[in-house]
Structure 1
Amino acid sequence: MKKYNYLLLILISLFSSKVFAQQTDSTYQVRGFIIAAPRPNGLADFIKFINEELAPRKVNTLVLRVDFDYQYKSHPELRDSVALSKSDVKKIVEACKKNNITIIPQINLLGHQSWASKTTKLLEKYPEFDETPWVKMPAAADYKWPNADGLYCKSYCPLHPGVHKIVFDIVDEVMEVFEAKAFHAGMDEVFYLGDDKCPRCGGRDKAVLFANEVQTIRDHLAEQGRELWIWGDRLIDGRATGIGMWAASYNNTYRAIDMIPRDVVICDWQYDQDNQTAVYFALKGFRVVTCTWNRPQVALNQVEDLYRARALSSRELKYRFYGIAETIWSPPAQFLTGYYANTPGSPVSDNTPWNTFRVMFDKMGKLDQAAAAK
């Protein structure tokens, strides 16, 4: 059965590539939008946005950061206090089906198991999975970065024998309820990994640890004919590129890029400047989705880069430039408030996510029209 499912994933990938190759050079696979899942009381507004804003812009991929904001049946202890029900999720699924939008749910795996002074549900309920249990969470008023513990976000230990059973239970459940064929595992900004004090992974090569965790998650999904997406920052050498420790790696995980399967899709976020790292990932053999946030001019540059790269690259390389997505890092309700309070036509210097969203998709529409007119 496992071999059959691996073969199925390969066939799906080959078929998708063939269909994609038949499209014109002005198009690309992913026109994406990445945001946290809405709260139940914001569901109607979120669906309105899908219908009235995403669909007209031909957005075809919605990555939803679900994490613990779903009423899991497999592990109800991991539900946040306010979480989407199955019927809530189905309303989002139906809206996306109607508009030909593919949903990719995200649960942060490995890193981002805490935020500021709050431990998220996995380590709250299963503290034995903590990579650095001796690092204590500060009081809310006391959290500062940088700090003596190097605490940004906690990680789970990828070598703990019990972690994947729990994690894969909720991954499988969220994939089923969203009727999804691809899963986003996060895996960005992992600062705690292979800690010297960890009894399981202390002293091990951090690149190997990271690559093995990618492989483990990818293999679990592949058994069911599903695809893995991750953020790309840990696969970039932060020192050699000068990109730094946030949008790239200082703890040597970047060497994992040569150890992970090439069917993993890389979401390459470079928000503050156009570092053209999508070229790096494509040359390494990965499909790459360029991700923007709140810098309209950077987003415009990245849209032009995408079109240029596809126009100039070889046939094999061209289709690895998989698309582009706008990412939102505020709660959906906050983003929608800003979006609807600010009318179109803001200057490019207006560095907000809603202005970036408008500017980016407007530019893509104009380039599409120009290509169609040729």
Structure 2
Amino acid sequence: MKKLFVLLLVCCSTLSLSIAKALPTDTLPVRGFCIAAPSAEKLAPFLKFIHEELAPRHINTLVLRVDFNYQFKSHPELRDAGALSEQQVKQLVQACREHHIRIIPQINLLGHQSWAGTTTNLLKVYPDFDETPWVKMPAKYEWPNPDGLYCKSYCPLHPGVHKVVFELVDEICDVFEADAFHAGMDEVFYIGEAKCPRCGGKDKAELFAGEVWTIRNHLAQKGRSLWIWGDRLIDGKTTGMGMWEASMNNTYRAVDLVPKDIMVCDWHYERPDKTPVYFAMKGLQVVTCPWRMPANARLQLKDMYDYRETATAEMKPRYQGMMQTIWSDAGHFLDEFYGRGNPGKDTVNTSANCFRALFAK
């Protein structure tokens, strides 16, 4: 028995040594974390999380989905109730500055202007911006539905939409002292609708690319860069990835029309698809974004290291790294992470476990 124990120790030591030798020495440019900006009452525990969890894991990029959770001065009519104040945002800025973490705020642009049966603030206050005003919000939301309603979009060709949107973007970038902005732009199902008096009959890929260019050019005036989700740039039919993680409404051809200096956040949550290669070969920078499956995240991380190790000198800088995504609010995520409350049925495939697997302390 003693000999067996010694043999096991030797084997484990040899395996550990071989794994250590196999670990990449390359440092990923982006070690990111994406989550909804905390509510005012959850700010203190989230600041603690930055200090005690993000910093020790060497997270260097924090994408905060702010949307209307800020006390906008340019458009107070669009604020959420209980939104973060300027002083509270500065606490986030200071915490991240202390640990050399780059903050990138997000406001969902183009799509995601509603959720389930609720219209979000932009179209609620400015209904004229709606791409599909004839689609009424249901009392009880179900998918699928006769209208094909997932989330509403604003009309990218409405003459008044960008004045309002860019005033929000400028203000949120200023208060977060940000040199980049995340515009969302994922899961855009309504675009170029035939009944829209401005967009009807126009090429959906050109409309999508045009909006990317419009946002990118506005940000560039102040030296800021643009990040977007990548699903609308992938052909859902040819790849078999379908309508969620890819496009089935012909926006995918925009991949050849968008500016090359944007950052594509390539999310795949059910399979570790190797689409970063596709984006890199199109000349775009890309980060891989897992959510709740630790096994997939580990494979995606290994792939990212492999891409960088085997790439040409031209391709390597386009493989920018990894970003963990969280799709609950900050308060619920912190409860999950610290084991508070009732765990779900699946205690393995959780966003907290995925985060720990992706970025160890």
Using the size of structure 1 for normalisation, the TM-score is: 0.88
In 2, distance between residues paired with 1:37 and 1:108?
A: 13
Is the 1:116–1:143 contact (alpha carbons within 8 Å) kept by the matching residues of 2? yes
Matching residue of 2:121:
121
Q: Quick check: 1:297–1:349 contact (8 Å CA) kept in 2?
A: no
Q: Quote how far apart the aligned CAs of 1:315 are.
A: 1.0
Q: How many correspondences in the alignment?
A: 333
Q: Is the 8 A contact 1:107 1:171 kept in 2?
A: yes
Q: Which runs of 4+ in 1 moved over 2 A?
A: none
- Give the root-mean-square deviation of aligned CA atoms: 1.2
Task: Check the 8 A contact 1:25/1:310 in 2, yes or no.
Answer: no
Q: 2:286 corresponds to which letter in structure 1?
A: V
Correspondences of 1:183-262 after superposition (within 5 Å): 183-262=181-260
User: CA contact under 8 A between 1:61 and 1:103: conserved in structure 2?
Assistant: yes
In structure 2, the residue matched to 1:4 is none
Tell me, what secondary structure is at the counterpart of 2:353?
helix
Query: Does the 8 A contact of 1:65 with 1:106 survive in 2?
Result: yes
Q: Over residues 296-316 of structure 1, what are the superposed CA-to-partner deviations in whole Å (9 max), with x where a residue is unaligned?
A: 111000000011111111111
- Match for residue 266 of structure 1? 264
Give the superposition deviation at 1:319. Answer: 1.1
What residue in structure 2 maps to residue 280 of structure 1?
A: 278
C-alpha deviations, 1:124-166, integer Å up to 9, x for none?
A: 0000000000000011xx1100000000000000000000000
2:70 maps to which residue? 70
- Distance, in Å, in 2 between the alignment partners of 1:339 and 1:101 is 20
2: CA distance between counterparts of 1:82 and 1:147? 33
Alignment-derived partner of residue 177 in structure 2: 179
| Structure 2 residue 82 is the aligned partner of structure 1 residue 82 | yes
Shift of 1:251: 0.3
Tell me, what secondary structure is at the counterpart of 2:359?
Answer: helix
Cα deviations by residue, 1:255-296 (Å, 9 ceiling, x for unpaired): 000001100100000111011001100111111010010011
Specify the SS of the correspondent of 1:91: helix
> For residues 300 and 154 of structure 2, what CA distance do their matches in structure 1 show?
33
Per the alignment, in what secondary structure is the counterpart of residue 224 of structure 1? coil
**Residue in 2 aligned with 1:46?**
46
> Do 1:46 and 1:332's aligned partners in 2 also have CA atoms closer than 8 Å?
yes
- TM-superposed CA distance for 1:180, in Å, is 0.1
CA drift at 1:56 = 0.1
Corresponding position of 1:170: 168
Which of 285, 300, 320 is the aligned partner of 1:302? 300
In structure 2, the CA distance between the partners of 1:255 and 1:55, relative to structure 1 (3 Å rule), is same
Quote the residue 2:131 is aligned against: 131
Alignment partner of 1:148: what SS?
coil
Equivalent residue, structure 2, for 1:153 = 151
SS in 2 for 1:229: strand
SS in 1 for 2:249: coil
Residues 298 and 133 of structure 1: is their aligned pair in 2 closer, same or farther, counting only changes over 3 Å?
same
Deviation of 1:62 (Å) = 0.1
Q: Which has the larger radius of gyration?
A: 2
2:350 maps to: 352
Give the match's secondary structure for 2:314: helix
Aligned residue number for residue 111 of structure 1: 111
> What's 1:97 paired with?
97
Structure 1 residue 26: deviation in Å? 1.1
- For structure 2, list consecutive stretches of 5 or more residues without a partner in the other structure: 1-23, 341-345
Who is 2:59 aligned against? 59
Alpha-carbon distance, 1:25 to partner: 5.7
* % identity of equivalent residues: 63
Shift of 1:324: 0.2
- The CA distance in 2 between the partners of 1:121 and 1:284, in whole Å, is 35
State how far apart, in whole Å, the 2-side matches of 1:263 and 1:331 are: 30
The SS at the match of 2:33 is strand
Taking the aligned partners of 1:25 and 1:281, their CA distance within structure 2 comes to 24
| Post-superposition CA distance 1:86-122 (Å, at most 9, x none) | 0010000000000100000000000000000110000
Distance 1:69 1:46 in 2: 15
Q: Tell me, in whole angstroms, the C-alpha distance in 2 between the residues paired with 1:152 and 1:242.
A: 20
Once residues 115 and 349 of structure 1 are traced to their aligned partners in structure 2, the CA distance between those partners, rounded to angstroms, is 27
Contact kept in structure 2, 1:296 and 1:349, CA below 8 Å: no
Paired residue secondary structure (2:149)? coil
CA shift, 1:349, in A, is 7.9
